């Protein structure tokens, strides 16, 4: 018997994330760690759970197994119901495709799944955004206006506007124009990549798009403009909370710093923030010589170092006489003794041997890839004078263990 569901979510989680290389060399972009215990994909999954959207199709492509394995081992309340009421994994291989042609094509190829759910409305989400959002008010907004499509929007800095789909609206939030990544933006009202459609309308536009030889089969480039040009009602839903697209190394690092600075507060106001399976360890091991300032340490970490304005994930060990400043140490990384790390991201399972120097004295973020080994003799890591950095780190590393957040 055909189901009936008011609203389901389709989560696009197949991105390769080339701008996040080398962090994406072994996993899809949505599986990249964030903070001390999360992955990017946790945010839309948490939002769905807290918004009572319990049917979710997760569309995968690049390194699909990395997404499948993680989703199957999370503590999200519906993650154990894979294949039934809960999460359904929808890889491109399900349709005997090498890859989806674009974001719209990914939904088109899974129209049978949506039809089986009997969904009246479909929420399209990205797997690489950091935010906490209740989707229920957006759904009510969408219904009240009788919109064929509703796009969540947020004002962004003008200097970043060309990175996004940019909209203009009237006073009733009806969209009057949409331009995907314009070179000269006429507005700074940006699409958040969160789309809510009446399924009957979206299905019609997807079918039309599928036979258009000039289409790239992308929502922002093709389907949204087609809906707008048809004079169908398209609404913009304003969102005021924290939101960041973390598609680049710089934006990933900046979002983690926002977490340290308190600009991003996770799990507050009764909004549970679930992630991978919880550990039974309730606090990190700190040696008496450790000095932690304005940092977040995962409970399953071992630290004997000076750590300032940094995030240390699970399974990380950091040796004595090491100095870490404004850096992200991802799960399972091992940092030796007498190491200096400045404004860097250390990938999962990476090994930094004793005496190594990592980082730049300019604003560039240095990245060590997953599983990479760095030695003290690595030429690319010793092409600058580290003495000023060491002095800086000694000056700012106040010995105060009270600032640990775990």
Task: Output the pLDDT for position 387.
Answer: 42
Instruction: Judge contact between 364 and 348, C-beta under 8 A.
Output: no
Task: Output the pLDDT for position 79.
Answer: 53
Please tell me the distance from the alpha carbon of residue 155 to that of residue 151, in angstroms, as a whole number: 13
Backbone angles phi, psi at 259, to 5 degrees: -65, -40
Instruction: Judge contact between 266 and 181, C-beta under 8 A.
Output: no
Please tell me the distance from the alpha carbon of residue 291 to that of residue 323, in angstroms, as a whole number: 9
The one-character DSSP state at 40 is T
CA dihedral 157, 162, 164, 169 (to 10 degrees): 80
Structure tokens of 138? 């957006």
Q: What is the mean pLDDT of each run of 10 residues along the chain (406 residues)?
A: 76 88 92 93 92 93 89 64 68 82 94 94 95 96 96 92 92 92 92 96 96 94 94 94 92 96 82 63 80 94 95 96 96 96 96 92 88 77 41 32 34
């Amino acid at each position: 018997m055909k189901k009936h569901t008011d609203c389901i979510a389709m989560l696009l989680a197949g991105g390769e994330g080339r701008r996040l290389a080398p962090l994406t060399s072994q996993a899809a972009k949505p599986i990249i760690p964030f903070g001390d215990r999360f992955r990017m994909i946790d945010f839309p999954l948490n939002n769905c759970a807290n918004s009572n959207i319990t049917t979710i199709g997760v569309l995968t492509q690049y390194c699909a197994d990395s997404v499948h394995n993680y989703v199957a081992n999370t503590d999200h309340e519906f993650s154990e119901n894979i294949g039934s009421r809960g999460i359904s994994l929808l890889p491109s291989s399900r349709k005997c495709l090498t890859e989806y042609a674009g974001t719209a094509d990914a939904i088109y190829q899974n129209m049978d799944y949506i039809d089986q759910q009997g969904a009246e409305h479909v929420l399209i989400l990205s797997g690489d955004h950091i935010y906490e959002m209740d989707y229920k008010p957006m759904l009510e907004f969408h219904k009240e206006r009788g919109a064929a499509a509703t796009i969540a929007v947020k004002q962004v800095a003008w200097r970043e506007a060309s990175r996004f789909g940019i909209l203009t609206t009237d006073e009733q939030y009806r969209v009057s124009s949409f331009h995907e990544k314009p070179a000269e933006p006429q507005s700074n009202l940006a699409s958040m990549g969160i789309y809510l459609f009446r399924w009957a309308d979206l299905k019609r536009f997807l079918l039309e798009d599928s036979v258009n030889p000039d289409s790239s089969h992308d929502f922002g480039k093709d389907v949204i403009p087609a809906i707008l040009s048809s004079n169908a009602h398209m609404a913009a839903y304003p969102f005021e909370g924290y939101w960041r697209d973390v598609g680049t190394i710089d934006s990933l690092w900046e979002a983690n710093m926002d977490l340290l600075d308190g600009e991003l507060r996770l799990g507050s106001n009764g909004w549970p923030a679930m992630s991978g399976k919880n550990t039974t360890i309730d606090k990190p091991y700190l040696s008496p010589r450790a000095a932690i300032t304005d940092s977040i340490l995962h409970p399953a970490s071992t630290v004997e170092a000076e750590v300032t304005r940094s995030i240390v994930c699970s399974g990380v060990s950091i040796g004595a006489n090491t100095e870490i400043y404004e850096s992200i140490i991802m799960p399972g990384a091992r940092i030796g003794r007498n190491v200096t790390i400045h404004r860097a991201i250390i990938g999962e399972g990476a090994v930094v041997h004793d005496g190594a120097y990592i980082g730049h004295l300019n604003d560039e973020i240095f990245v060590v890839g997953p599983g990479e080994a760095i030695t003290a003799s690595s030429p690319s890591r010793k092409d600058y004078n580290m003495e000023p950095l060491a002095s800086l780190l000694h000056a700012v590393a106040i010995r105060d263990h009270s600032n640990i957040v775990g």
